[in-house]
């Protein structure tokens, strides 16, 4: 039994990503140290924890990413086995080598056009599941169920192995379906509405509690650490929460406008830009729960 394992082309973007993560952490730590607003401190702590967890997991995934062909099955895998993709070579309709810039939405699309991991859009192919570390060496292939993109360092060797297994080398144009375009537009609206509803929850709960006289005269705010407490007047706390709600809605509105502009480049996944304000409002709601649950119990 012959097992062929191909490593991805080295990604220069990874070094850039690590640098940006470190800079973001430094900025958050500085804000955590200098800010006098305990609500801001709590938010920074949540952001730091989230960034460390997501960033570390992603970097480990990228460092262990591989493409393996064994017994007629291509595996796109990593140390996180539950994310592995298995594709039978006999199910591949075509493959093609391409050197191209990548269309993608979100932060990654604004920072790099040669790196993409996740679902993306490629002109002429439509939706593509991409595991591309460098588009200077890219192989796209398709099955009846979908399209995929990988970037083995030994691109010629990988292509030769596909040909040996009877996969045709040709570029098949697959038009974007109208239902996919409509689905993306609906998702953008749904993400925006979800953000708006979550902002209303963030703002309305403290206001209602203040109106019902359920808040104490001074609200104790925790930094996720019971040994560090700060007390602010209930009215000041509510006003501060409203200000954060207005800020979160403004970010969501800006993200919506940006997504509409980005739809001219990425016709399918542009709505993912709305994940940025969604993460922010989720963190704000977690902070709200951290403060109000002890009061209401």
pLDDT tens for residues 6-23?
999 887 777 888 888 899
Four-point Cα dihedral 180, 185, 186, 187, nearest 10: 90
pTM of the predicted protein model:
0.71
Per the domain annotation, does 26 fall within a domain? no
pLDDT at 81: 92
pLDDT band at 106; cut points 50, 70, 90? very low
pLDDT tens for residues 180-230?
888 899 999 999 999 999 999 999 999 999 999 888 888 877 544 445 567
pLDDT band at 118; cut points 50, 70, 90? confident
Q: Which helix (H) or strand (E) holds 87?
A: strand 85-88
pLDDT at 171: 80
User: pLDDT higher for 248 or 39?
Assistant: 248
Residue 18 phi, psi dihedral angles, 5° rounding: -60, -45
User: pLDDT higher for 213 or 290?
Assistant: 213
Per the domain annotation, does 98 fall within a domain? no
For residue 258, the enclosing domain spans 178-296
Per the domain annotation, does 139 fall within a domain? no
pLDDT at 38: 65
State the chain's mean pLDDT as an integer: 86
pLDDT at 120: 80
Number of domains in the chain: 1
Per the domain annotation, does 159 fall within a domain? no
What residues contact 248, with CB distance under 8 A and at least 6 apart? Answer: 195, 199, 202, 277, 280, 281, 284
Q: Both tokens of residue 179?
A: 């239902």
Pairing verdict, β 66-70 and 94-98? unpaired
């Amino acid at each position: 039994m012959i097992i062929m394992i191909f490593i991805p082309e080295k990604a220069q973007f990874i070094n850039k990503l690590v640098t940006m993560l470190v800079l973001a952490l430094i900025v958050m730590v500085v804000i955590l140290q200098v800010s006098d607003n305990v609500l801001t401190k709590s938010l920074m702590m949540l952001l730091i924890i989230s960034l460390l967890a997501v960033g570390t997991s992603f970097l480990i995934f990228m460092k262990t990413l591989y493409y393996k062909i064994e017994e007629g099955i291509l595996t796109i895998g990593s140390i996180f086995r539950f994310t592995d993709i298995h594709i039978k070579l006999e199910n591949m309709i075509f493959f093609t080598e391409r050197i191209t810039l990548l269309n993608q939405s979100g932060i990654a699309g604004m920072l790099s056009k040669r790196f993409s991991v996740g679902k993306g859009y490629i002109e002429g192919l439509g939706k593509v599941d991409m595991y591309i570390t460098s588009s200077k060496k890219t192989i796209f292939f398709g099955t009846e169920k979908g399209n995929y993109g990988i970037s083995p360092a030994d691109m010629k060797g990988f292509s030769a192995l596909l040909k040996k297994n009877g996969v045709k080398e040709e570029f098949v144009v697959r038009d974007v379906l109208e239902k996919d375009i409509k689905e993306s537009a609906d998702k953008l609206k749904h993400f925006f509405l979800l953000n708006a509803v979550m902002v209303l929850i963030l703002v309305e709960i403290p206001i209602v509690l203040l109106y019902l006289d359920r808040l104490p005269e001074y609200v104790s705010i925790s930094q996720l650490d019971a040994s560090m407490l700060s007390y602010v007047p209930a009215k000041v706390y509510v006003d501060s929460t409203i200000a954060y709600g207005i800020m979160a809605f403004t970010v969501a509105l800006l993200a919506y406008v940006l997504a509409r502009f980005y739809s001219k480049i990425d016709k399918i996944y542009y709505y993912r830009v709305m994940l940025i304000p969604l993460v922010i409002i989720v963190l704000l709601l977690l902070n709200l729960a951290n403060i109000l649950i002890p009061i209401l119990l």
